[in-house]
Amino acid sequence: MFRSTALQSNRFQLMVFGILAAVMLLTRSHALTHLIHVPSTALASYFVLGYFVRRFAGFIGLFALGYAIDVVSISLLGVSDFCYTPAYAMLIPAYATMWLAGRFAARMPERLQSLPAIAVLLVGATFVSHLFSSGGFYFLGGRFPDPTIEGFLPRIARYFPFSLMSSLMWSGVAVALWALLLTARPDLRREHSR
C-alpha cells in the first residue's frame, strides 16, 4: 500500500475535504455560474476525494453537502428543479464510482509513468458514472415517456463528452496543484511501505 504518514493524518484529510467542499460550494451553488459558466467539478471532486480521503465518512460528507446545496439552490435560490426527480438517488452510485476509482488510483505508484493508467481509470470511471447519473435520469426520472435503450444512446453521445471534458480538466487541475505542493513539500510524497 502507498501512503505517507502525512497523507494519513486526519489534518491533511480534513484539509483536502475542506478544499473540495469549498470548490463544491462555489460551483454547485451557482455562486459563480451565474457570472461565468464553470464546468461541473463533481466527478473530479469525488475522484480526488477517493485519492486522498479513504474514509467512507468523507464520501458521505461530500455527498450530503452536495445534496444540501441542491436543496437550498432549488428551494431558495430559484434554480430549476427539472433534474430533481426520484432518479437523484442514482447520483450515489455515480459519485461512489468516482470515489472508488480515486481510491484505486491511490494504490498506484506516485510517478509520472502512472499517469496514463490513472487517466484510463478516470475515463472509464467517468463513463460508468455517467451511465448511472444520465441513465438513471433518463430511465427513472419520469421526464421521458417510454424510455428505451435506443432513445438513451443519443444522450450518451450528446452529454458524455462534456462530462468527460469536465472530469479530465478538473482532475488535471488537481494533479497540477498536487505536483506543485509536492515540489514545495516533498515530505508529503507517498512512500512504499513494506
- The pLDDT score that the predictor gives to residue 12 is 87
Tell me what percent of the residues of the chain surpass a pLDDT of 90: 60
* 130 vs 11, higher pLDDT: 130
Within a domain: 31: yes
Confidence of residue 180 (pLDDT cuts 50, 70, 90): very high
Confidence of residue 37 (pLDDT cuts 50, 70, 90): low
Asked if pLDDT for residue 29 goes beyond 80, the answer is no
Distance CA 103, CA 3 (A): 11
Asked if pLDDT for residue 99 goes beyond 50, the answer is yes
Residue with C-alpha cell 467539478?
Answer: 41
Q: What is the total count of domains within the chain? A: 1
Within a domain: 193: no
Instruction: Provide mean pLDDT across the span 90-102.
Output: 97
Tell me what percent of the residues of the chain surpass a pLDDT of 70: 88
Confidence of residue 3 (pLDDT cuts 50, 70, 90): very low
Within a domain: 131: yes
Note the helical H segments in the chain.
5-8, 10-28, 42-52, 56-75, 91-105, 115-140, 149-184
- The pLDDT score that the predictor gives to residue 35 is 57
- The parent domain of residue 90 ranges over 5-188
pTM assigned to the model = 0.87
Within a domain: 194: no
User: What tens digit of pLDDT does each residue of 111-164 get?
Assistant: 889 999 999 999 999 999 999 999 999 999 888 889 999 999 999 999 999 999
Within a domain: 21: yes
- Paired with 2 in beta bridges are 192
Enter the DSSP assignment of 194: -
